[in-house]
Amino acid sequence: MSDEKQRVQPARLLEMQSTAVLLLDDALQLRYLNPAAENLFQVSRRRIIGQAWSAMVLVSESMEGYLQDALDRQLSFTERELELCASNGQVMIVDFTVAAISRSELLLEVVRRDRYIRIAHEEQLLAQQRAARELLRGMAHEIKNPLGGLRGAAQLLESELEDEEQKEYTQVIMREADRLRNLVDRMLGPNNLPQKQMINIHQVLEHVRSLVEAEGNETVQLVREYDPSIPDLCADSEQLIQAVLNLVRNAVQSGADRIILRSRTQRQVTIGQERYRLAVRLDIVDNGKGIDDTMKEQIFYPMVTGRPEGTGLGLSMAQTLVNQHNGIIEFVSEPGQTVFTLLLPLEEA
């Protein structure tokens, strides 16, 4: 039996490709498009074939000019990171290759880029945040040792003092040293790796809820929207409690009077370079004042705060804890509605 019979026909290869491929004639009408192109532009090829290609994408005049030029002069070219608008209104960033294959046929290849661009941007931000945290940890470490000595010396001095009034000064030194030590400990961040075991995410949420209620925030209503069917996940519940608590406290401090704690599952989640089939998604929704546009890119960096009494460590710590679970924290915010989303993969990548 010849190999020939078993080979996939070249035409079928086009049908199986994940890159969108289109063929235009000399009137820039669609002669062919593969399923990937149907998918990308959200059109049905039965309906669109024979129509002008501008029926499928909103093309700028210069683009038409390029295509015509490629046909006339039998050229090929690639445009990178071009913005296209599909006829359903969806805007996308694409790499666009045009090849004239005859006087009357143009082959187009369109590769969507915005997903890659977004991932690269996220990766870069995460790396920068990690670097900032490392720098801070190093500094905190350097402060911690002399601080211990300082406090010890004040304590010794106090035991030598007979005048009660003078002891007030040593008390101030010790109190301030303790305060600084607390801060430095928070700057150091979580110092142990997660102790993972199977837990139910709602135990975490309920724990946070009781803590926040015990902190006496009577003006805030905490609303539960749980999906009880979420399977258990392998995680360190103490660390997740800390992470979610930091988010909910921020929501309380944003002046919100209603905070929703929502749990869901989400399919096909990309976190950094990894893709997971299933993840737990927690949304902390508040109706507070929102985050200023000028602060949005920075809030996950340590020591970045918008509150006079804030230390700016809450989000950076929460992100570290969640990253240690291969997860990520993201947010969207406008005045009156801020949503912090915590994604935790339910299985290995």
Query: How near is the Cβ of 256 to ligand ATP at its closest, in Å?
Result: 7
Distance from C-alpha of 204 to C-alpha of 191, rounded to nearest angstrom: 20
Distance from C-alpha of 305 to C-alpha of 330, rounded to nearest angstrom: 17
Strand partners, 86: 57
- Report yes or no: 38 and 44 within 8 Å, Cβ to Cβ: yes
| Closer residue to Mg ion (CB): 290 or 314 | 314
Segment contacting ligand ATP (CB under 6 A): 5-13, 53-61, 210-218, 245-253? 245-253
Tell me which of 35, 190, 272, 312 binds ligand ATP, using CB under 6 A.
Answer: 312
CA 176 to chain centre: 37
Tell me which of 129, 250, 320, 341 binds ligand ATP, using CB under 6 A.
Answer: 250
| Closer residue to ligand ATP (CB): 89 or 216 | 216
Query: How near is the Cβ of 194 to Mg ion at its closest, in Å?
Result: 21
Query: How near is the Cβ of 182 to ligand ATP at its closest, in Å?
Result: 11
Segment contacting ligand ATP (CB under 6 A): 9-17, 84-92, 250-258, 322-330? 250-258
Tell me if 345 contacts ligand ATP by CB under 6 A: no
Tell me if 288 contacts ligand ATP by CB under 6 A: yes
Tell me if 313 contacts ligand ATP by CB under 6 A: yes
Tell me which of 138, 148, 310, 335 binds ligand ATP, using CB under 6 A.
Answer: 310
- The tokens describing 125, both together, are 């931000």
User: b/e for 157-196, b at 16 or more Cβ within 10 A?
Assistant: ebeeeeeeeeeeebeebbeebeeebeebeebbbeeeebee
Segment contacting Mg ion (CB under 5 A): 159-167, 189-197, 214-222, 247-255? 247-255
| Closer residue to ligand ATP (CB): 101 or 295 | 295
| Closer residue to ligand ATP (CB): 165 or 293 | 293
Ranges within 298-327 binding Mg ion (CB under 5 A): 314
Is 111 exposed, middle or buried (CB count within 10 Å of its CB: 0-12, 13-18, 19+)? Answer: middle
Residue 337 to residues 109, 262, 290, Cα–Cα distance (Å): 40, 14, 6
Query: How near is the Cβ of 241 to Mg ion at its closest, in Å?
Result: 15
Distance from C-alpha of 201 to C-alpha of 208, rounded to nearest angstrom: 11
Q: Which does 311 bind (CB under 5 to 8 A by kind): ligand ATP, Mg ion, none?
A: ligand ATP
Tell me which of 250, 298, 326, 333 binds Mg ion, using CB under 5 A.
Answer: 250
Distance from C-alpha of 69 to C-alpha of 63, rounded to nearest angstrom: 10
E strand or H helix at 152: helix 114-160
Strand partners, 33: 22
| Closer residue to ligand ATP (CB): 177 or 313 | 313
Distance from C-alpha of 31 to C-alpha of 39, rounded to nearest angstrom: 17
Q: What is the DSSP letter of 286?
A: E
| Closer residue to Mg ion (CB): 94 or 251 | 251
Distance from C-alpha of 2 to C-alpha of 13, rounded to nearest angstrom: 20
| Closer residue to ligand ATP (CB): 138 or 255 | 255
Ranges within 143-172 binding ligand ATP (CB under 6 A): none
Query: How near is the Cβ of 292 to Mg ion at its closest, in Å?
Result: 15
Distance from C-alpha of 324 to C-alpha of 195, rounded to nearest angstrom: 11
Measured at CB, which residue is nearest to Mg ion?
Answer: 314
How many residues are present in the chain?
Answer: 349
Tell me if 251 contacts ligand ATP by CB under 6 A: yes
Tell me which of 150, 157, 306, 323 binds ligand ATP, using CB under 6 A.
Answer: 306
- Summarize as ranges the residues that interact with ligand ATP (CB under 6 A): 246, 250-251, 254, 286, 288-291, 299, 304-307, 310-316, 338
